[in-house]
Amino acid sequence: MTTQTMRVIHIHSHGGPEVLKLEEKARPEPQMGEVLLRVYAAGVNPIDWRICQGLMKASMPITFPYTPGLEMAGVVEEVGPGVTAFKRGQAVIAQTSAGAYAEYITISVEALALKPQTVSFAEAATIPVGATTAWRVLFDHGGLTAGQRVLIQGAAGGVGLFAIQLAKWKGAHVIGTASTANLDFVRSLGADEVVDYTTTSVEGIAQDVDLVLDGVGGKTLSSLLAALRQGGTLISIAGPPPQEEAQARGVRAMMSRGAASVPLQVLTQLISEGHLNVTAGKAFPLSDVQQAHEYSRNGHGRGRIVLQIY
Ligand SMILES: NC(=O)c1ccc[n+]([C@@H]2O[C@H](COP(=O)([O-])OP(=O)(O)OC[C@H]3O[C@@H](n4cnc5c(N)ncnc54)[C@H](OP(=O)(O)O)[C@@H]3O)[C@@H](O)[C@H]2O)c1
């Protein structure tokens, strides 16, 4: 029997986009409890290029050759022994610890959820990381409740676009920050107020905020802390917030990491029922993965970048 091969992205050393190589290798076989997934599209997250660059060595060590990619959408090609919950031909989404930049991946059925029929494969590939991260910040760590005021910094991004919609679904008053070109998009997601960060500081515009989701970090953090009410909370996913300044202002500030409490199935149901819309960002073919990482490194754009693989 001839071994079937697949195209896959490998890095063999840490570095910038130039270390991403399109190579061929044998297609993997699904083991007990796994499926072989034909990957139609993979999300390109900012953390992907940070891992490749070697910036996450301490918390997320990797071995070479390494295939980036934490999320994908595709079709079950083959089921491994013991798998009854999924069958060949089903369209699914999945989150993984690595390996989505490839034509095929083997993955545990526990990481899978059926793809909502209302979205394309490219859109579906952007759900796992963005939606679960937004849920974790808003609800697991932020305890957001109806009627509260929430400020989403980086509202047009792959996490922000889900955060706006999940906060609205919960019944919160939502303020989103974005550049001029993305303001209408952020409004269309349901934001009650938008702030153009290229012309206006949130300080003085957004006040008495209960919860800030910070997806940008850096210099913007001071003005975000100033927008909080006394006792309010800033949760960053972009970097550690300044604790001393938070204490001095009488607010809490924390970094959010780890798994979310929400199963993917809950999120896909919200999407199927029309509570959440999914917007994919710029799409690149697998062969243009270097350009996709270049684009991601800019830190601007609308929605999650995707690799359109099939
Ligand atoms: N801890 C975790 O679990 C976790 C999970 C996912 C992501 N993250 C991190 O969170 C950050 C955001 O992730 P993402 O996936 O949403 O990124 P993304 O898809 O690249 O989006 C970033 C967004 O930030 C906006 N932006 C850039 N500068 C801004 C500023 N000064 N003020 C307001 N908005 C600004 C950009 O919009 P414009 O085009 O309008 O500038 C863009 O839409 C990244 O650093 C990522 O690594 C962490």
In the predicted model, what is the mean pLDDT of residues 67-96? Answer: 98
Kindly indicate the confidence band of residue 1, based on its pLDDT and cuts at 50, 70 and 90: low
Q: How far apart are the first and last CA of the chain?
A: 25
Ligand 1 pocket, CB under 6 A: 45-47, 129, 133, 153-154, 156-160, 177-179, 182, 197, 215-216, 220, 237-238, 256-257, 299-301, 304
Q: Provide the strand spans (E) within 80-161.
A: 91-95, 104-108, 112-114, 149-153
The answer on pLDDT for 96 being more than 70 is yes
DSSP-based three-state secondary structure for 166 = helix
DSSP H or E stretch at residue 260? none
Q: For residue 237, give the DSSP letter.
A: S
Q: What is the pairing mode between strands 34-44 and 104-108? A: antiparallel
Distance 219 CA to ligand 1 centre (A): 14
Atom of ligand 1 nearest to the CA of 302: 43
Domains of the chain: 5-126+278-308 (3.90.180.10), 131-255 (3.40.50.720)
Mean pLDDT over 14-35 rounds to 98
157 Cα: distance to centroid of ligand 1 (angstroms)? 5
pLDDT score recorded for residue 2 = 62
Atom of ligand 1 minimally distant from the CA of 180: 40
Q: What is the pLDDT of residues 204-252, one digit of tens each?
A: 788 999 999 999 999 889 999 999 999 999 999 999 999 999 999 999 9
User: Given this model, what pLDDT does residue 244 score?
Assistant: 95
